[in-house]
Amino acid sequence: MFIGHWAVGLASKRVAPRASLGVLMAAPNLLDLLWPIFLLLGWEQVRIDSGNTAFTPLDFVSYPISHSLLTSCGWGALFAIVYWIFTRYTRGAVVIALSVVSHWVLDFITHRPDMPLYPGGPRVGLGLWNSVPATIAVEVAMYAAGAWLYLSMTRSRDRTGQYALWAFLAFGAVTYVANIVGPPPPDVRTIAVAALALWLLPLWAWWIDRHREVTGNT
């Protein structure tokens, strides 16, 4: 899942309005932020296998550190603790922890049985990616709902807050379409290096959020 994780971050603003959108976007994407680093270090493995599922040519051979249920709970707890130490915002910390784990849950729904419960443990997955139309329908609906929730409770402080947000949402949509219709990546290193660009996502979201304000009670 891709923009489905973005949707969680956008929607989380409704539950934790005092938290920066940058942190809220980092949380549900944290496992994918860590994954390319572990790929480049050789700790995890992926291979290109056209036809692996209808939606993606990637075969996730091994990613127990970043993407097992047990470690995702650990990453979520660690992120939440660090956030709470710096902010003392308990609700935000809880939302962050749950958002990190939501990544595994959403991937469990979309992936074939390659999602480990714990390092070395059984691997599970419901396989939504075996249907391109169903995958697109679910993710687009989630993305639209997440964007609406964020837009409905924030307003622009200035033009930057308006145009930067719409550019952000458009970028997510365009990137999603490109992933669907584009050719398979040439090699694993290209996948890892390109995935590192995801680290810009929380920074962009943080900048947008600084130019917007919550309209309801915090």
Cβ-based neighbours of 145, under 8 Å, separated by 6 or more = 7, 11
Q: How many angstroms separate the CA atoms of 185 and 170, rounded? A: 22
Cβ-based neighbours of 201, under 8 Å, separated by 6 or more = 6, 25, 26, 29
pLDDT digit string, tens, across residues 76-110:
999 999 999 999 999 999 999 999 999 999 999 99
Amino acid at 11: A
Q: Could you write out the DSSP letters of every residue in 61-79?
A: EE-HHHHSHHHHHHHHHHH
Maximum pairwise Cα distance, the chain? 50
pLDDT for the residue numbered 75 = 98
Q: Which residue has the tokens 């219709």?
A: 181
pLDDT for the residue numbered 61 = 95
pLDDT band of 19, cuts 50, 70, 90: very high
pLDDT for the residue numbered 182 = 86
SS3 155: strand
Give backbone dihedrals phi and psi of 55, rounded to 5 degrees, phi first. Answer: -95, -35
Q: How many domains does the chain have?
A: 1
Per the CB < 8 A criterion, the answer to whether 11 and 150 are in contact is: yes
pLDDT for the residue numbered 177 = 93
pLDDT for the residue numbered 118 = 97
Using the 8-state DSSP alphabet, how is residue 91 labeled?
A: H
pLDDT digit string, tens, across residues 134-176:
999 999 999 999 999 999 999 999 999 999 999 999 999 999 9
pLDDT digit string, tens, across residues 39-84:
999 999 999 998 889 999 999 999 999 999 999 999 999 999 999 9
pLDDT for the residue numbered 50 = 84
Burial class (CB within 10 angstroms; exposed 0-12, middle 13-18, buried 19+) of 74: middle
pLDDT for the residue numbered 122 = 97
pLDDT band of 38, cuts 50, 70, 90: very high
Domain limits for position 197: 3-214
Taking each helix axis from N to C end, the angle separating 159-181 and 200-210, rounded to the nearest 10 degrees, works out to 150
